[in-house]
Amino acid sequence: MARDSSAGNPISLAGQGHAIAACGGSGVQYHNIPGIDVPGSPYSHVVESGDLVCVAGQVAADSAAGRGVLGSIGPETAAVMHQIRGILWARRLTFDDVVRVDVHLIDLDDFREMDRVYRGFFTPGRYPARTCVEVRRLFGGCRIEVTAMARRRGPA
């Protein structure tokens, strides 16, 4: 199903167990990964512009059920970070390429446990810039949402 993505047509890309649909033009590429989207939601899972790779906010969600995979903050954080890892791998990136992370928690009292799990996904000394804020609600009753920005260090 490969077509020229510069013309705005879909292209299938293989990636760590995920098929990715990409559209692009003007040097910007928009990618969606089947199975993690919320039907009818107008966003791209990944947007690439030059060497900047932006990963949309991810929650530990069961997209088929349209609700969050609820639990304590530790397992939810791990599920979100594994999901982001899969998205990064699909774009031939790792957490070492991540330069910025935004974390949204529904309760800042969950910060220590979230941080304990989160730090395990990064190489010590290579932690990205991070913002963590408390929000009133997240999709599907989730406790955490994480957004990431990565910088590609070489050719895709």
Among 19-28, 75-84, 89-98, 141-150, the minimum mean pLDDT is found in: 19-28
Burial classification of residue 109, based on how many CB atoms lie within 10 Å of its CB (0-12 exposed, 13-18 middle, 19 or more buried): exposed
Name the residue type at position 104: H
Share of the chain above pLDDT 90, in %: 49
Name 104's bridge partners.
Answer: 133, 145
pLDDT tens for residues 100-135? 999 999 999 999 999 999 999 999 999 999 999 999
N-to-C CA span, the chain: 19
Domains and CATH numbers, the chain: 5-151 (3.30.1330.40)
Average pLDDT over every residue of 9-35: 54
pTM of this structure = 0.77
CA dihedral 119, 103, 75, 38 (to 10 degrees): -140
pLDDT at 10: 33
Whether the pLDDT of residue 39 is over 90: the answer is no
